[in-house]
Chains A and B, each alone.
Chain A
Amino acid sequence: MSTPLEHDYIGLAETSSMERSSEKISSSSSSSIPSNIEDKTTNNPSLNLKETELRLGLPGSQSPERKLSLFGKDLETNDKSNGFVGSPLKNLVSGAKRGFSDAIDGSNGKWVFAINDKSDVELGKGAVLASPRGGLDSKTNPQQVRTSVPVMKEVVGVPQSPKPVQDKKNLVPPVNEHTSAPAAKAQVVGWPPIRSFRKNSMASNLAKNSDEAAGCLYVKVSMDGAPYLRKVDLKTYNNYREFSSALEKMFSCFTIGQCGSNGDGLSESRLMDLLHGSEYVLTYEDKDGDWMLVGDVPWEMFTDSCRRLRIMKGSEAIGLAPRAMEKCKNQN
């Protein structure tokens, strides 16, 4: 189950019950955030972005000498590496989210953001609180996030340098670049009140159990260079052939560019050529965390052990590529 903690939390920061929270983001990164904000505001006319950054970053950051937090670091990394112009909020948050699910092992996954309002701030309740459930699907309600944010600006404006959370375990691990989830899921230290042991135990079950809960097997599929990931239900396919053609359909839009002027619509065969050529290699991460080439093992064994997929650029799959070509030819 999931709840957009950050949405409603922000919203609730608006109620008088949230006058002040001393929860601070792990190791401040005030220095980077303001500069990033400047960058972003030039790139993106929406002021909301700036505020969303502050919201998740450090409120009223006043100490530029502060070392970059993991958040800040992630933010920078994302800035540089992500080709697409997304909301820095997305980067930050989704990055953080990715950081969670990627490296949940050993981390207690608590991060904080500080809301310091020493005055009663009448934040716009309507937007966020109207549909707490609506907030669950961040994809459909990005606006909700934004509307709540402007109010946060006042809150955030209170100068208070963020402090490193005393507990090292609170540090968020580095972000996976292949982030796409737009939902801002800010977390609060120690909330919900679950013991670390349980959090860590469940974290290692995350992908497998939540996906299988509904009797399906959804795994994420990323493609190098694509702006967002997809999810596929492995249970709906019976063999590699069905699977790869489904993938091709899914990702054809991203390879249109590669075809140059070869037609108004990308033909399946052209894409298959691309995929089966040296351009792309289909790999997957198995239960042990190793990256394997798709196609080596029987289909059932593959679906059992596959945690997620990555359509890798052939140039990256050094050593894999030659065999990949052969394998693909054989399979086809």
Chain B
Amino acid sequence: MEPSELKRSKDSPNLDESTRRLSFPDEVLERVLSLLKSHRDRSSVSLVCKDWYNAERWSRTHVFIGNCYSVSPEIVARRFPKIRSVTLKGKPRFSDFNLVPENWGADIHAWLVVFAAKYPFLEELRLKRMAISDESLEFLAVSFPNFKALSLLSCDGFSTNGLAAIATHCKNLTELDIQENGIDDKGGSWLSCFPESFTSLEVLNFANLSSDINFDALERLVGRCKSMRVLKLNRSVSLEQLQRLLVNAPQLAELGTGSFSEELTFRQCVELESALSNCKNMHTLSGLWDAKGIYLPALYPVCTHLTFLNLSYAALRSDELAKLLAHCPRLKRLWVLDTVEDKGLEAVGMNCPLLEELRVFPADLFDEEIIHGVTEAGFVAVSFGCPRLHYVLYFCCQMTNAAVATIVQNCPDFTHFRLCIMNPGQPDHITNEPMDEAFGAVVKTCTKLQRLSVSGRLTDLTFEYIGRYAKNLETLSVAFAGSSDWGMQCVMGGCSKLRKLEIRDCPFGNAALLSGLEKYESMRSLWMSACNVTMNGCRLLAREMPRLNVEVMKEDGSDDSQADKVYVYRSIAGPRRDAPPSVLTL
């Protein structure tokens, strides 16, 4: 956009009737557009015409970048001059499961340098799967005087020293949200770095960290931050300490407890229960590490208005869960471990009719002597009791086609269906057939499906179904499935709204890869690892589609012609320059 075009036409009194009807003064347009929050809506708006493009870019305060390499910080800064809040995502999702080399990239520092120059009033930074060092955190802390919110999810490269820098320098901090990161926990002294005069914190989440923090410092911090609404403690905080914190923070809306297993006297139990019952605003509860069933009744007072209960770190038995859920009628989101077994899930179906989201995580991956976990029966039971269910993540040891058909019949509104049968390539355990019909039922019945993860033994038929029926599908994850290139070709040809496709250990080769030639520019990214794609196939793709970055990660000693891991994504920033030697950009 040329600078001249940026000139706002504040006064246009000489426009004739027809033009006046067609154009608002810019500031009106900007005012209207500033009410738009969704970045997708804003993208659509910016495509209408040049005026709207300009109005949109001047009014945008939050930018979401789903792939940090799709654009450069300079380009972002040039287009959007008034950004206060940035969300950035870096590595491919499979890096969460160690499929991506450690030094792959997605370092935030280059972005921070540009932001410091162009967005000195930056307030919020939310990162997912980015690499961030302590130096970067310190740079962040001192470069942005208005900085308010930092959220790190699945990031790595930093230690608690970086957190100390944030706590020390960010005088206006309202949010410090450290979730599930590869953080080097060097101790809990960072918490004591918040100055005594500091009172603005509203969100504090350090559940990810394991070291002991100075409880007195925490108690004082919570006591003086009267606007605190989210507090998620780490395991080192005891039940007794929790009670002391709650007494000073009854306004909390979201609580993540610390360890929930110590021995409590009767009086301590009563005090805890009383402190919790004073938290009238609490709608989210998590933590509950090592929860012992006998202390769960202390939670009953808050359970009545809970909408989100995260028990995914509490290995509860079915009876313990059932007793707890009897008090949680308003639950909308529930995360549990599979220690609750099918019986526990039956209790979910019976007690939580408003449930919209269920996630069942596996507790014990390694001890084969323990045969617990959940099966198709649990899922079916939930589906009968919870017709509003639309988001499910289900790790199970067995499944049947019939069960899935029943489930989607009961719950046709699925938007996110992530089923993980933990044995790769396992068939229907009753009929021994592939699980094709199960996912066929899902895509045929759930027309609003946006995200799908498949598992079990699957032939190309599954992908035929997906291509034919999953017209709203945006994200697809495939592992150990398919029979031939045809499977992936069906998906590439049929799923018009596909944005993210991640595949591992499938028999898809070059023909499959190249079938998506036209499609990749409308997608965020494609990941293929341990498939049959060769270097030549990748080179061909790179040659045909110059606006795609085609990156191949080679593993030592593998055949020169095989493309072990392929990551393809659209980019207006060109090939990246910070790739490590193991990553080849074609």
Contacts and interface: CB of A to CB of B under 8 A. Distances in A.
Given A17-B506, A132-B423, A197-B181, A1 B364 contact: yes
A205 B479 CA distance: 28
B480 interface: yes
Nearest to B458: A17
A13 B557 CA distance: 21
Contact of B363 (A133, A188, A210): A210
Chain A interface extent, by class: 35 or more
A199 interface: yes
21 contacts: A1-B338, A1-B373, A1-B374, A2-B368, A2-B372, A5-B424, A12-B423, A15-B457, A17-B457, A17-B482, A19-B532, A22-B530, A23-B530, A132-B427, A167-B102, A191-B479, A193-B479, A194-B97, A197-B180, A209-B339, A211-B370
Interface stretch (B67-75, B194-202, B493-501, B558-566): B558-566
Interface of B: 94, 96-99, 101-102, 154, 180-182, 208, 289-290, 312-313, 315, 317, 337-339, 361-374, 395, 397-398, 420, 422-427, 429, 432, 457-458, 477, 479-484, 504-507, 529-532, 555-559, 562, 564-565, 582
A167 to B, nearest CB: 5
A213 B370 contact: yes
Please name the 5 residue pairs, one residue from A and one from B, whose CB atoms are nearest each other, closest first: A1-B373, A190-B97, A12-B425, A209-B315, A2-B368
A104 interface: yes
Contacts of B505: 17-18, 20-21, 23
Nearest to A132: B426
A94 to B, nearest CB: 10
A275 interface: no
A265 interface: no
Contacts of B479: 191, 193
Contacts of A4: 368, 423
Contact of A133 (B181, B374, B429): B429
A2 B565 CA distance: 29
Nearest to B103: A166
B558 A206 contact: no
Contacts of A34: none
Given A108-B98, A160-B557, A20 B531 contact: yes
Contact of A213 (B312, B313, B339): B339
Nearest to A62: B557
Chain A: interface secondary structure?
Answer: loop
Nearest to A104: B366
B366 A163 contact: no
A163 B558 CA distance: 8
Contact of A136 (B101, B371, B424, B531): B371
A137 to B, nearest CB: 8
Contacts, number: 223
Contacts of A262: none
Interface of A: 1-5, 8-9, 11-12, 15-24, 28, 63, 97, 100-101, 104, 108-110, 129-130, 132-133, 136-138, 160-170, 181, 183, 185, 188-199, 201-203, 205-206, 208-215, 231
B425 A24 contact: no
A324 to B, nearest CB: 29
A203 B484 CA distance: 37
A166 B369 contact: no
Given A17-B480, A167-B102, A2 B364 contact: yes
Nearest to B504: A190
B98 A170 contact: yes
B424 A193 contact: no
B373 A164 contact: no
A215 B317 contact: yes
Among B313, B337, B365, B425, the one with the most A-chain Cβ atoms within 10 Å of its Cβ is B365
A211 B429 CA distance: 26
Given A2-B367, A23-B530, A185-B368, A169 B98 contact: yes
Contacts of A163: 555-558
Given A1-B370, A189-B99, A195-B154, A129 B424 contact: no
A199 B425 CA distance: 22
A194 B364 contact: no
Given A163-B558, A194-B365, A205-B290, A5 B98 contact: no
Given A132-B423, A133-B398, A202-B365, 9 more contacts: A2-B373, A12-B424, A15-B457, A16-B484, A17-B482, A17-B506, A20-B530, A20-B562, A199-B365
Nearest to B553: A166
Given A3-B397, A108-B98, A195-B180, A205 B532 contact: no
Contacts of A213: 315, 317, 339, 370, 372
A166 B555 contact: yes
B98 A196 contact: yes
B429 A181 contact: no
A24 B530 CA distance: 11
Contacts of A205: 290, 315, 363
